[in-house]
Structure formats: C-alpha cells, structure tokens
Structure 1
Amino acid sequence: MPTLLALALLALGLLPAPTGPSAAPARKTVAVLAFDNNTGKTDYDHLGQGMAAMMTTDLAAVDEIQLLERQRLADVTKEIDNQRSQYFDSTTAVKVGRLAGAQYIIVGSLAAVEPQVRIDTRIVRVETGAIVKTAKVSGKQEEFFDLQKRLTKQLVKDLDIALSPEGEAKLDARQQANRVDDMDAMVKVSNAMSMADAGDYGGATFKIAPVVAKYPNSAFVKMTSDEIKQRASKKTEQKAKDGINKGINKLIKKKWPGGN
C-alpha cells in the first residue's frame, strides 16, 4: 500500500522523481610548467624542470586531476616560446595552457636557495588568466623533499580538491616512491633532462648515473633514466634507418641514373 501511495504522489508531482547514482565530478585538467630560476645563480637554471616533472608524477596519483604530459607541454612551449620566457608572470603560461588544452596551469619559481630555499607557486585559471591561488614554502636545502611534498599537498587543496583518506594515502605513497632528498641530486636529474631535450643523450646518461646509484629505489629517478635511454635508443634506430635509406638511394641512382 505505501508503494501505491508513493506512486500516486509521484504522478501528481508531489514527490521528486528518483535519480540514479550521482555522476563523479569531472577531472580537472592541469599542467605544471618548469619553475623559473629567480635565485640569480645559474647552477639552478634547469632545476625547475626537474621540480615540475616530479610534481607532475606526484599529482598524477590524485584521481581528480588529469595531468598533461611533459613532452606535450615541451612541444607547445617550443612552438610559441622558443626563447623560454619567464612563466611566473602568467602571460606565457596562459598561452601554453590554451594550446595544450589545460584548465589550470601551475607556475612556480625557485626564489632563493641561501640561507634557505624558498619556492613560490601560482595556480592560474587558463580560461580567464586569473590567479586562483598562491602558495610558498621555505626551509633548509636538506629538507628539499619535505618542501616539495608540502607544496604539492597545498596545491591539491588550492585546486579545491578534498582528498579522501584513501586519496591522501595514495598521494603519500607516490611521493615516498619518488623520493629524492637532497637538492644537489635534483639539480643533476634536471640537468640530465635538459641535456636529453637538447639531444645529448650520452651526456644526460652520464649526468644522471650517480643519482641512479644513490637513489636506486626512487621511481622518479628510474623513470627519468629509462626515458633518456628510450629516447637515445629511438635516435640510434632512426639514424640507422636514415643511413640504410641513404645507401639504397645511392644504389638506385647509380643503377638507374635517369630515374626519379
């Protein structure tokens, strides 16, 4: 009988229609650009690249975020900004974000390294160019891992993402897996990444080797090292193919000099 009453009330519009399970909120598309070096020390020119890469791999553990790949960002950045402008002023960052298809861009700067490290960040909404949130952390160089860990968690909050206990545990696990404690090691990894981007895979492999030995269990270091090796292998394969094709073309021209 209660069921019949409910049906009657529903027919009269006095009860709300039943709804299915609520849809999960759409994932936020986020890109992390290489951090600027505002320390005045050229030794740290490439550190921001490694910092952004590690932050990207950490944030990839957050289910509510869709991260854009580093190579995609590098291609877009090269297309519109071959001279590598400063990103922290947000103007170039918004251009990159629009071309890459990001909703939010995270930009940052290494503001100081002595006597303490200071890292500043901004979250920029690509659609409007507005700065949504700013955050900064500071501490000793030997606390570099903890600084980046704190900053990443703050950025998640600033994106209005409330992690469940399971989500927090997943992010913690990812950060521990990627762990690199000292700043000097991160500088070496970052320099290796920059050398690889310039096509110097031998130099990149040599540069990252001591970090691989020091942090054999770091997923981030292993991933970066493996990527350098894969890119070097592809370059070697392509070079071999080009050599074979060149040789074949020479033979064809020699045998059939009048051919096209």
Structure 2
Amino acid sequence: MPRLLALALSLLFALSLSAQAAEGGDVKPVVAVLYFDNNTGKPSFDVLRKGFADMMVTDLAAVRQIQVVEREKLQKLLDELKLQKNEYFNPKTAQRIGQGIGAQFAVAGSLQAIDPALRIDIRLVEIATGKVLLAEKVTGKKNQLFDLQQQLVGRFVKALLPKLDQFPKPRSRAPDVDTLLSYSKGIDLVDQGKLQEASVQLASVVSQAPTFLLARERHEEILSRLKQAQERRAETLTDLDELLGQKAERFLQEKTLAGLDEKEGSTLLAWRIIRMQYLARKLRLHLSPKHPHIVMPGHEPQALALMQRWHEQAQAFVRESTEYVQRFTREANGVRFLPNTSMELSPEDEEHVRQAKYGPLRFDDEARITVAEALLMGQFEDGNERFVAGPSLSDLEPSVEEEGFRLLEEAVEDTSALTPQLREHRVRRALDLHGDALMRKGRTEEAIARWQRFLDLFPTSSQFNFISNKIKTALGVGSNAYDNSGATFAQQLETCDKNGILQGYSHEMSRRLLTRGYKAARELFVEVDTRCGESKELKSFLRSLLTTAAMSAANAGDCATFHELMTTRFLALHGSQSEIAGYLKNYVPQCKKEEPAAP
C-alpha cells in the first residue's frame, strides 16, 4: 500500500509538470539542499555542513531553471523540528524535511573524510516517493574543494535537467576546507543571532581569501543587517530619550528639594542627572563624529542653546546636591553618616533608564568638580560614556569661565570634614583640573601656580611626581616630547623653529579646535604660513602642515575650508589634483562635491 501511494504521488507530480508545460508555463523543480552529515569522526567539522550547504544553494540557485529553497528557511524548520543532530543523508529524514519546506527534491550528502584525502558522498532524493535518484561520491585533495563541489553541482543539475547544455558561472569559490570551515563558523554565528561576531569572523575570511565571493556577499549582507538593526535601535533609543527627558522635565518643574524627605530627594537628584544627560546627548548630535568633537558648521546656535540649558540644570544640581548632603547627613558618637546615595526610581523608570543607557545613576559627591569640568573643558557624561565638546561654554561666554574656576576653589575649600585620604583626592582632582583648564586657555603661569599649590599641600602624595611632571611639561622640559612641544608652541612659532613647529603643530591644532571651533584649522595654518612660510627650513614642510589643517577642517565638518585650502595654497605648494582626489576618496569622502548633472 505505501508503494502504491508513493507511485500515485509521483504520477500526480509528473502529470502536474506536464500540464504546466502544456500551458506554456516554466516548470522549475523545487530543490532543498540539506546539511551534509559529518562522518569524519571529528566533531570540530560539524559546522562545515552549514557552509557547504550555503555553497551548494548559491551555485544551484544560479541555474535559472531550478528553484532552490533558501538555507535560512531550512535552518528555521530544523530549529522548529529540533533536528539539528539528525542524519540528513537518510532518505526518510530528507523526505520529511523536504515536505516541511515544500521541496520536490532534496540534495543530501555526507563528508566521509577530510585527511589525507577529501571524500564527499551525495544523494538526490525525490520527496514524493523517497526514491534516491542519484547516488555518487567525489574524492580529491583538501585544496580542491571548489572543484569537487562544482562536480557535485554539475551532476545534480544534469540529473534534474538532462537537456541543459550550458551551466552558469559558479559564485561560491571556496578555495579549501580550512577556509570553508572559517566561513561556516561565521554562518553559524548568524544563525545564533550573533551578527556582530559573525561580521568579524567573515571579515577575517574575506581578508584571507579575497576571491571567496560567497563569503564577501554574506559579509556585505550582515553589514547591511547590522546597519538596519542599529537604525531600529537608534529609533527606539530616541523614543526612550524623549520619554525620559520629558518626564524628568515635568518632575523637576513640580518638585523642589525643600518639601521632600531623603528618599524623595534622591529621586529628584536622579531625575536631575537624567535631564542633564538627556541634554548632553542632544548636544552630541551637533558635534563632528571624529575626534576632536567640534560643533559642526551651521550647528552653533543649537549647540549653544543646549549648553546653556545644560548649564541651568547643572547649577540646580550643585545647589540640590549641597543641600541634600547638609540636610540628611547624620552624626552619631562623633561619626558622620552620609545620606542615601542610591538613586531611587520606579521599576518601570529604572528599566527605561537601563534600555536608554543612562545608568547606572549614582550620587555625585564631587558635583562642583563634575560641573566645572563640563563648563571649562567641555567634558560631559552620557551614561557610562564621557565625551568632549568644543568649544566649551566657557570658551563662548567669559562669565561662565569665572563660574567654573569658582566651583573648583569651593571644592578645595569644602574638604575640612573629609578624611585625609579623601581630602587629598578631591584637592588633587580640583587643582589638577584647574591647571589643565588654564593651560587650555594659554595661561601657563597661572596653571603652574595651581599645580604647585597641590605639591605644597601634599608633599608626600603618591601623585607628587605626576603633578611635578605637568609643571615641567608646561615649561617644555617634561618627560614627553610631544606634550612639551605642544606647551611651548607659541614660543617656537615666534622664532619659526622648524622642529618645534612640526612637533607641536597637531597638538596646537587640537587645542585651538577645542577652544575656538572649526575655523581654527584654517587660522592656524594661515598664521604659520604668514609668519614662517618663507623660512628655508620650514618651506618644504608647509604642504604637509596645510594638509593637516585641511583634513582637520573636513573632519570637523568644514568642507568649504578643505576645498579652499586644497585648491589654492596646496596646488601652489606643488600638490596635485590626483592627491586631492585621493584624500577625498580615502579620508574625507563626505567632502566630495556632487558631479554636475548631464545636460
């Protein structure tokens, strides 16, 4: 009876194909390529079944007269049926799987040996009857994998389409077993949903085997999927950002610390931190993506407004943090107990904070220093990340500079109740930052005075040598030549000292960009060119300095300056159009000009 049923199914299939052909339709046999069994006795080769199946699917699908079931569809069915460890070479198993994915034929096989010779057994199974239509084997060396696989493809196609004379050019091209094994590991990572790891794995395969076209195509597909996933995540995070930002704003408008107990007060501080991070994240959107992160051309009004709004929140944060500690610090038996330092939110809000990567939220007992660092140095916190925005608010508004320095002085003065170890830590952090901020603004002597103050207060500190070296660096005699040259660049420029200018140029470029904005790239080169452009020693290096300035401008989003410098002075310094084209193609493609439309 089962044989009669199988015969009937086979007859119906044949009649169906004949009817479609009579109607003039194209009849395409539907083929499923199953995973080849690993009979080598080496479990490490189990993953090869996926890569080999992917190769077979790719090359069979190139035959327009055959419809091939995608490997991903097969994987989905195997996951549902929990057939990962089954032997697919068994005709009954092949028949069951083929029926599940709507195939008429199944390609099954097994890897019988890898070393010293490669042997692959194959079968072509008719799904309706379970009949084996083709059973053969191929053998050869490991490095002949592609040739052997192409023999298999040819035999399968000939069995399905005996009248087909010409086969399409193969696209898989795996050079050897080891490469296919690496590729298979990448495909397996994709099936596990580990796209980032898969991308790294396949990138390595492509690098080692550039002609392996299938690996290259799969890598490009994964990069596309990663990009789409990142875009979806960005949309989700944007929605969460807005939700948290608006909720923080409403909470802070409705509540004041004066009417809250300790637990409620910690919640208010948490929402204040969220609001500050929300504004910092918004500011980040107006900065150039490459270091140093400069406000992009045309974004100055938005960036300034966000810095000012952040500043308002930061002022409130300093006041509230100070009041919170004063109100809720307790003393018992001469011991001070600080208030609750955990930031308390509802479980739902905590989950939103986690998803939006704002956390972990924590009480900042050095709020004055944290705020001063943002105002003076442009350093902000965005969840667990920190980023620098230039120019800082103090670079744009002189009154803010005074406020930042005042906060640091207050932080130093308000350390009398701390333990000696905590006092040293806080004083060092405040005075070190104070000196850095002064150096950033070119006020070297005042910076040295702040660092020396720390050395005088804590002559036995473990940080003594570190701070002492900062003073030496400011004077140009520190342990790092690059930092020395940056600190003394102004003096080197006065005398057109070639070595000093060349060593300190990029350091000075970064400092000026962070304090003056994207226009500083052009200004610095023009200043060097004007002062020292005719210097015999420096003249041959001007083109290199100009390129640094042009690239810095481009990375800051100022493509207009890039083109101005490169099409005028660069060419005058014997640069070429081909060099400019190379920079645009390889380093700053965002500055490519659109080709005029054809008439």
Q: Under TM normalisation by the shorter chain, which class is it?
A: 0.7 to 0.9
Aligned pairs for 1:140-151 within 5 A = 140-151=141-152
Correspondent of 1:226 among 214, 220, 227: 220
Paired residue secondary structure (2:93): helix
Q: Distance in 1 between matches of 2:86 and 2:247?
A: 47
Q: Which residue of 1 aligns with 2:37?
A: 36
What is the Cα-based RMSD across aligned positions, in Å? 2.6
Note closer, same or farther for the CA distance 1:207–1:98 as it changes in structure 2 (3 Å cut): same
Q: Give the CA deviation at 1:59.
A: 0.9
Note closer, same or farther for the CA distance 1:251–1:90 as it changes in structure 2 (3 Å cut): farther
Q: Which residue of 2 aligns with 1:236?
A: 230
Contact 1:80 1:96 in 2 (8 A): no
Q: Which residue of 2 aligns with 1:191?
A: 185
Q: Distance in 1 between matches of 2:39 and 2:228?
A: 35
Q: Give the CA deviation at 1:130.
A: 1.8
Gaps of at least 5 residues in structure 1 are 1-20
Q: Distance in 1 between matches of 2:140 and 2:41?
A: 18
Q: Distance in 2 between matches of 1:46 and 1:203?
A: 16
Q: Distance in 1 between matches of 2:84 and 2:49?
A: 16
Q: Deviations over 1:55-81 (max 9, x none)?
A: 111111212211111222222221122
Q: Distance in 1 between matches of 2:52 and 2:175?
A: 12
Contact 2:78 2:84 in 1 (8 A): no
Q: Which residue of 1 aligns with 2:208?
A: 214
Residue type at the aligned position of 1:197: D
Correspondent of 1:201 among 195, 214, 218: 195
Note closer, same or farther for the CA distance 1:252–1:72 as it changes in structure 2 (3 Å cut): farther
Q: Which residue of 2 aligns with 1:54?
A: 55
Aligned pairs for 1:113-192 within 5 A = 113-164=114-165, 167-168=166-167, 170=168, 173=169, 175=170, 177-192=171-186
Paired residue secondary structure (2:49): helix
Residue type at the aligned position of 1:145: F
Paired residue secondary structure (1:107): strand
Note closer, same or farther for the CA distance 1:119–1:230 as it changes in structure 2 (3 Å cut): same
Q: Distance in 1 between matches of 2:242 and 2:82?
A: 39
Q: In percent, how many aligned pairs have the same letter?
A: 35
Paired residue secondary structure (1:111): strand
Q: Distance in 2 between matches of 1:113 and 1:121?
A: 15
Give the TM-score taking structure 1 as reference length. 0.78
Note closer, same or farther for the CA distance 1:196–1:108 as it changes in structure 2 (3 Å cut): same
Note closer, same or farther for the CA distance 1:245–1:134 as it changes in structure 2 (3 Å cut): farther
Q: Distance in 2 between matches of 1:238 and 1:44?
A: 36
Contact 1:122 1:134 in 2 (8 A): yes
Which structure has greater strand proportion? 1
Q: Distance in 2 between matches of 1:92 and 1:248?
A: 53
Q: Deviations over 1:212-254 (max 9, x none)?
A: 1233343312111112223333433444445456667778999
Q: Which residue of 1 aligns with 2:577?
A: none
Q: Give the CA deviation at 1:151.
A: 1.1
Q: Deviations over 1:118-163 (max 9, x none)?
A: 1111111111222221121011101111111111111112224332
Moved more, 150-159 or 184-193: 150-159
Q: Give the CA deviation at 1:25.
A: 5.4
Give the TM-score taking structure 2 as reference length. 0.36
Q: Distance in 2 between matches of 1:236 and 1:91?
A: 43
Q: State the aligned residue count.
A: 230
- Higher RCO (C-alpha under 8 Å, 6+ residues apart): 1
Q: Distance in 1 between matches of 2:244 and 2:126?
A: 55
Residue type at the aligned position of 2:204: P
Which structure has greater helix proportion? 2
Q: Which residue of 2 aligns with 1:13?
A: none
Q: Deviations over 1:24-56 (max 9, x none)?
A: 651111111121211111221111111111111
